[in-house]
A and B are shown apart, each in its own frame.
Chain A
Amino acid sequence: MRWRNAWIVMRKDLDEFKKQKLVIGSIIAMPIVLGVVLPLVMFVPMVTIVPLERPWDVDGLLEIGALPDDARAPWTNQTMENTSFRSTVISHKILKNTHLNNCIILSCVLDNTTVVDSTIQNSSLSSSFLNNVTVIRSEGTGLDGRYVLAVSSNLAFTKTKPSEIDQVLPLMFNMVLMIFIIIPATLPTIIATYSIVGEKNNRSLEPLLATPTTDGELLAGKIFSAFIPSMASTLLAFTLGVVLLDVVLIPKVAYPLLPNLTWILSILLLAPTACLMSVLACVLVSSKVSDVRAAQQLGGFIVMPVVVLMLGVLSGFIFLSPVMIFVFAGLYGCLDIGLFYFAKAIFNRETILTKWT
């Protein structure tokens, strides 16, 4: 196997894609439509439900040294309701119905509030949700939460009903995450079928096969030329999507910043295995048909394992946790290996030339 030859084959294909409107169009349009437009359509209506006005702004986290050292400063009695804060130091306030993320909360009264990745000191809490929060010298009733470190505090936990947004958000994130699996699974059906069936129809395979390039090098070149643009497009969609979600949502909704572990694992493991599966499926399909459109449609069928996952996620049967990602990536990986050997067995000169037309 001379990788250089596979590389040459791939470079030529990429050169051809640049001239092919359907191919280049899909590579560019898919991440924009699915990575930007779709999340916007999903989240903008939701965000508008969350109150937008903020009584006052403290931008950025103050230096530790700049914290007010008199924690017993008089109450301002200012009440803040239906809002959210990020990276803010809040002291001496009454907070109701708020979302706090990455905040330092000093001497406050918190009611019906969600606190994430924050520290609370000298405060009184009721009916609130805490996630990854350190609570110092405070007391609370009717709390719910995870990863709460209580220091010199008296906290009483009961299950409270999480706010609607907290319930819906993870499911919606799951759906968005599915986009970044669907893109790498669908793009190869356009690209790989074009690069193989197109070359067959064009009769350019015969002279190519008469060069010293081996079947394996050719197969590898064709796999790369479909895999690399598909994954590049996916990464673009992912980056756009993540930035967009964080920018649009964070000021309004409190949640750990994206990409979280699940997202990172899925883009690193699930997307490439799904992409490779689709590429290999298309290589196989392309061996049986000589019509690009038919190949694309058949290719769509073979990405069924991705559709299964998608349906599972959309119906709520499958919740994408890191473990779930490992399970599916492992499953796809095994399918990839099987498909690869199958493709390798089928991809030989004589069959390509005499049976592929």
Chain B
Amino acid sequence: MIVCEGLTKTFGSITAIQDFNIEIPDGRIFGLLGPNGAGKTTTMRMLSCLIQPTAGSAHIDSYEIGKKEDAQKIRGMIGLLPEVPGLYETLGAYKNLDYYAQLYGIPKTQREESIKTTLTNLGLWDRRNEPVGGFSKGMKQKIAIARALIHDPKYIFLDEPTASLDPAAAKMVREYILELKSQGDTILINTHNLSEAERICDTVALVKNRTVKVGSPKELARGLFARTISITMQKIPPSLLKDISSLDFISQAQVNGNQLVLNVRNPEEDNPQVISWLMKQGLQVQFVTEEEHSLEDVYLKLIEEGGR
């Protein structure tokens, strides 16, 4: 369980993040979304005990970040993938992973075995001794992710994990993240990839140097937008738009080709009324669907307009 209360970090006169409050229950995937410079990396660094908060507090299990005695314990429980992979470019993938495995005190035989499994899964076992400086961006990223997980941490912090990966590799990473979740690990992700966050995160926090909004991607969309339904008909008479506005539960109506798009208060109650009204007008309804607002819509609305 990760709890942040009023977490704040300033660098001189720059406020990176202010009054950040979240609660991440164990076994969840939590996404931090926000524009460049929103303070996502800074927050992750504070939670990794790399930098001290200026104000506020955060706890991981019963340990407090920023407390000297607890830092060691926390660092043992977490695995961090930083923004930049930061591998030792002259060393091979094996040595890069082995260095960390040693620092985490993993016994030799176990180390050898788990590195072999990891590199084989990544398809890099045959190239384990080549300097990683010559590897592609995505390959480096995969090695860095493997490095963050080498000691099987309970809390996993991933700063833009799929940023440099091709779609197949990104999918692999997402599936892996979901697998980690199913093992009970708790995962915090910084990302700019909204559809990714929507797909894998249980909860997201929109931040812009402060918390803008926290909730599940669905909840956020619901709270922000009136619900929209779209009705596909064989033919839409030109006068329909004016006539339908007489129904008082419809806040907005619009015609797109042969689709009628309506903002309603509550589709569960309002849809049957709309449809019977349309039938009375002698119109034929083909499909009725609810238009889901994507996280992207939410993000743009909150960050670009409201977050200012």
Contacts and interface: CB of A to CB of B under 8 A. Distances in A.
Interface of A: 5, 8-9, 12, 15-16, 19-20, 202-214, 349-350, 353-354
Nearest to A205: B86
B104 A202 contact: no
Contact of B82 (A9, A207, A213): A207
Interface stretch (B28-36, B94-102, B214-222, B282-290): B94-102
B91 interface: yes
List the 9 closest A-B pairs by CB distance, nearest first.
A19-B90, A204-B86, A210-B80, A203-B86, A203-B84, A206-B82, A212-B75, A212-B76, A8-B102
B78 A210 contact: yes
A211 B88 contact: no
A349 B51 contact: yes
B86 A5 contact: no
Contacts of B82: 203, 206-207, 210
A12 B85 CA distance: 17
Nearest to A348: B52
5 contacts: A16-B90, A207-B86, A210-B49, A210-B75, A353-B51
Interface of B: 11, 45, 48-52, 72, 75-76, 78, 80-82, 84-91, 95, 99-100, 102-104, 131, 144, 147-148
Given A206-B82, A210-B48, A349-B50, 16 more contacts: A8-B99, A8-B102, A8-B103, A12-B99, A19-B91, A203-B82, A203-B85, A206-B50, A206-B84, A207-B86, A207-B100, A210-B49, A210-B50, A349-B51, A350-B52, A353-B50
Nearest to B157: A210
Contacts of B103: 5, 8-9, 208, 211-213
B89 to A, nearest CB: 7
Contacts of A202: 86-89
Contacts of A210: 48-50, 75, 78, 80, 82
B51 A16 contact: no
A159 B36 CA distance: 85
Given A12-B99, A211-B75, A353 B104 contact: no
A207 B140 CA distance: 14
